[in-house]
Amino acid sequence: MGFRKDFLWGGAIAAHQAEGAWNEGGKGVSIADVMTAGSNGVARRITNGVIDGEDYPNHVGIDFYHHYKEDLALMAEMGFKAFRTSIAWTRIFPNGDDEQPNEEGLKFYDDLFDEMHRLGIEPIVTLSHFEMPYHLAEKYNGFMDRRCIDFFVKYAKVCFERYKGKVKYWMTFNEINNQAELISMGAHHLAQEGAVLVKEGDDIEYMMYKSAHHELVASALAVKAAHEIDPDAKVGCMIGMNAVYPATCNPEDVLNAQQAMHQKYWYVEVHARGHYPKHLLKKFERKGYDNFILPEDEKALAEGCVDYIGFSYYMSYATKYTGRFGRSFDFSEEDYVRNTYLKASDWGWQIDPVGLRWCLNWFNDRFELPMMIVENGFGAYDKYIDDNDEYVVDDQYRIDYLAAHIAAMKEAVDYDGVDLLGYTMWAPIDIVSASTGEYDKRYGFIYVNYNNAHEGDFSRAKKKSFYWYKHVIETNGEDL
Ligand code: BG6
């Protein structure tokens, strides 16, 4: 009973939210480098290139690029077995369509992974975490253009060859399914995910399906290449998982929730089964969206199924049938309702540990693949205290959140028999928020002295949760 002996306890970040050094070491401009700071409830803007005078928090991140040794030492002190980060594509191919990779960028990740191994920490690496080269957006409109499949596969192969023996666990596209959330967040997500920029009058839904298809083909080709280059490599997908519940037991609400799950999670069916689910092919037929799936794509998808399912889990949703789409169900954010049984964070994210067990079962029932929870965490406004020698933030709320989620995943292992490889919480150290660009939305066990107003010296300090997580790892999750 309990978690496997070699369970991968750790934490996760992404290059663009932490590294900073946006124009050092030969790095090119990524899509994250043209996103301004938003705030709680205020969306980030995507600017036309880097514009003087705008506030781009990802340019600085938490300066992980220069602090990574210090940061990894703190993670090792907590007993981390694994650490998930992404490779910034623009450190390797600054424009995305360059002939040759940038040696300085490759060397940076060599050093990073070597340092992890020196500390006994297994790297888990995402190839594309919202940080595609901006040049690919400008010149090709990102994954709307099939040529981006080749650019991605070339980049992936360079990484697999270079880091063979150093990196075993890979993931292709971070939260590839976020882009299903059309209407309000659609344009933003298309840009973050596939460097697709939307103009007024564009059919954003068509663009989402077409560019996501190209990403899925690119992912499948990368999986195949990884296995050829390194038979020990394990390549997973990365799904942003938020269960959608029916708001009541009215059968219309239940059907509504099932259809919402179809709309948000068909991506994992393609990743794991190697073909499209029938309900989506029917939708393409209805909407005339079936012109971008080529016969060679079907072959690629079938030959590039993932080895494991990586997913993030922060919250759950609930939905109520309104009848506004007839029977075809095209959801947007308006179709979600508050779940009155749940409390929410200051950013409105509904806290639902039980839902994590539900999600693990949802994946397991369908795919019977090993799984890794590669993100789960609590963004909060932390209060700094300087009169306590042991820690600088008393973040009991974060401990409570994480403990309840770990308890739920333990139930899924003990009672439901899910094959869980590891848990990398988000994020062991405070970083820039992906959705709002804030510094003040903090997730870490490690406090970083920097805030939304750009005050602070980037010094690191321990929060109360630091000691708690260390103990969780020491006891292999037995004592929460
Ligand atoms: C996930 C992303 O959506 O959630 C991360 O993979 C992100 O990049 C995390 O940081 C938490 O979201 P946010 O907006 O609070 O940073």
Say how far apart CA 352 and CA 237 lie, in whole Å: 23
Query: Tokens in use for 241?
Result: 């998982």
Give SS3 for 301: helix
Q: Which of 463, 464, 448, 475 is nearest to 67 (CA)?
A: 448
CA 222-119-462 angle, 5° bins: 105
pLDDT digits (tens, 9 = 90+) for 239-278: 999 999 999 999 999 998 999 999 999 999 999 999 999 9
User: In the structure, what pLDDT confidence band is assigned to residue 300 with cuts at 50, 70 and 90?
Assistant: very high
Count of residues in the chain: 480
Say how far apart CA 219 and CA 38 lie, in whole Å: 30
pLDDT digits (tens, 9 = 90+) for 126-177: 999 999 999 999 999 999 999 999 999 999 999 999 999 999 999 999 999 9
Which residues 6+ apart lie within 8 Å of 469 measured at CB? 78, 402, 425, 428, 445
Query: Tokens in use for 90?
Result: 């623009």
Handedness of CA 50, 54, 56, 62 (dihedral sign): positive
pLDDT of residue 15: 98
pLDDT of residue 331: 67
Instruction: Give the count of beta carbons closer than 10 Å to the beta carbon of residue 95.
Output: 16
Q: Is the pLDDT of residue 338 over 90?
A: yes
Cβ distance 137 to 31 under 8 Å?
yes
Say how far apart CA 369 and CA 76 lie, in whole Å: 29
Bridge partners (DSSP) of residue 125 are: 85, 170
Query: Tokens in use for 126?
Result: 């995402």
Query: Tokens in use for 300?
Result: 């690629």
Q: Which of 231, 95, 109 is nearest to 162 (CA)?
A: 109
ipTM for the complex? 0.99
User: In the structure, what pLDDT confidence band is assigned to residue 185 with cuts at 50, 70 and 90?
Assistant: low
- Mean pLDDT of the chain, nearest integer: 95
pLDDT of residue 388: 79
How remote is the CA of residue 69 from the centroid of ligand 1, in Å? 23
Give SS3 for 87: coil
Task: Please state the pTM of the whole predicted model.
Answer: 0.96
Across the chain, which distance is largest between two alpha carbons, in Å? Answer: 65
Q: Is the CB of 242 under 6 A from ligand 1?
A: no
How remote is the CA of residue 426 from the centroid of ligand 1, in Å? 8
Mean pLDDT of 466-472: 98
Q: Is the CB of 375 under 6 A from ligand 1?
A: yes
Give SS3 for 86: strand
Q: Which of 57, 165, 176, 177 is nearest to 127 (CA)?
A: 176
Which atom of ligand 1 lies nearest, measured to the CA of 435? 14
Q: Is the CB of 18 under 6 A from ligand 1?
A: no
Query: Tokens in use for 33?
Result: 């480098």
Query: Tokens in use for 466?
Result: 């630091």
pLDDT of residue 241: 97
Handedness of CA 255, 256, 261, 266 (dihedral sign): positive
Helices (H), ranges, 308-442: 353-367, 396-414
Query: Tokens in use for 306?
Result: 């993932």
Helices (H), ranges, 89-171: 89-92, 103-118, 134-140, 147-162
Mean pLDDT of 72-80: 98
Phi, psi of 476 (to 5 degrees): 50, 40
Q: Is the CB of 378 under 6 A from ligand 1?
A: no
- Mutate which of 426, 429, 439 to test ligand 1's pocket (most atoms within 8 Å of Cβ)? 426
C-alpha distances in Å from residue 462, one per residue of 265, 349, 398, 465:
37, 25, 13, 8
DSSP assignment of 190-258, as one string?
HHHHH-----TT--HHHHHHHHHHHHHHHHHHHHHHHHHH-TT-EEEEEEE---EEESSS-HHHHHHHH
- Residue 228 appears among annotated catalytic residues: no
pLDDT of residue 245: 96
Mean pLDDT of 315-329: 80
- Residue 478 appears among annotated catalytic residues: no
Phi, psi of 375 (to 5 degrees): -155, 140
- Among 131, 193, 215, 375, the active-site one is 375
pLDDT of residue 10: 98
- Among 175, 181, 193, 215, the active-site one is 175
Which atom of ligand 1 lies nearest, measured to the CA of 130? 8
Mean pLDDT of 395-416: 98
pLDDT digits (tens, 9 = 90+) for 18-74: 999 999 999 999 999 999 999 888 889 999 999 999 999 999 999 999 999 999 999
Domains, the chain, with CATH or none: 8-474 (3.20.20.80)
Q: For a pLDDT cut of 70, what percent of the chain falls above it?
A: 97
pLDDT of residue 183: 59
Which residues 6+ apart lie within 8 Å of 66 measured at CB? 20, 21
Mean pLDDT of 189-215: 92
